[in-house]
Amino acid sequence: MKLNDKSALSLMTVLVLSAVLFFCGGQAVGEEYDEDTYGPEAPIIFVKPVKAVDFSHKVHTMGAGLECDSCHDDLFEMEAGVAEQNDDFTMESLYAGKYCGACHDGDMAFASNKRCTACHIGVKGFERLNNEGGSADAGHGGGH
């Protein structure tokens, strides 16, 4: 079978178009953060009982590959500010394996009695985030 010029041309067009679409699609996956897949992009900042602890969904879902149900709703509600209402939202509870401590036990993730400043961004870090309007980018790097 021999293609005439016109259908050869449209075949080329289709091939080029699909290559372009494929390429762009791949790029989008690499560059765009999808909140449905990975949870809210903006960091969640706890201010009680101490200012301030930084939690990033991105680090845990996109980064560490955790599913939503590893935390929701057994360890945390899907609503910012709920855990902070609890009197037992303390280091003692973390050390006992509650909240963040369910994983941050030195086994599944770094221990809660190590690297304090990975989680605690401190008062200065909190003010910096606030000045930048709590924008999504501001939190990353804050804990390092």
Please report, as ranges, the residues that interact with ligand HEC according to CB under 6 A. Answer: 38-40, 44, 46-50, 53, 55, 57, 59-61, 64, 66, 68, 70-72, 75-83, 89-92, 94, 99-100, 102-104, 108-110, 112-113, 115-116, 118-120, 143
Distance of closest approach, residue 128 Cβ to ligand HEC, in angstroms: 16
CA within 13 Å, CB half, 134: 13
83 vs 127: CA distance, rounded Å? 21
Q: Is 102 or 129 the residue whose CB approaches ligand HEC more closely?
A: 102
Shorter beta-carbon distance to ligand HEC: residue 19 or 49: 49
By beta-carbon proximity to ligand HEC, the closer residue of 6 and 114 is 114
- Minimum gap (Å) between residue 22 Cβ and ligand HEC: 26
The nearer residue to ligand HEC, 113 or 131, going by C-beta atoms, is 113
